[in-house]
Amino acid sequence: MPVHIPDLILLEDEYILVVNKPAGLMVEPDRNQNPSLLEAVKKYLIQKADLPYAQHIHRLDRAVTGIVLFAKKREGFKNLSEQFAERKVKKFYKALTTKT
């Protein structure tokens, strides 16, 4: 599954990158070398900076589409991770189903 990150970016600034993850794509790499959103984000950032940093703050299941937040700086990752761990971040979920 080829991933074109610029088409998926919802917001980007100096500190964060917000990406709309398509269904079927994992957030993290696995041992089977399947494509991942993290790897695609890092490739995208390499084109923009000499020593890019990217780390996802949270994950979504492979089958799920949704928004994934990436930190572009280590100190931002630490701060955002703490906010998620302390439940200061509100998450919203919407499910679409079909009757078969």
Catalytic residues: 61
Half-sphere exposure of 72 (CA within 13 A, CB side): 19
**Bridge partners of residue 66, in order along the sequence:** 21
| Amino acid identity, position 57 | I
Grouping H, G, I as helix, E, B as strand and the rest as coil, residue 5 is helix
- CB-CB contact of 37 with 59 (8 Å): no
Cβ-proximal residues to 81 (8 Å cutoff; 6+ apart), any chain: 57
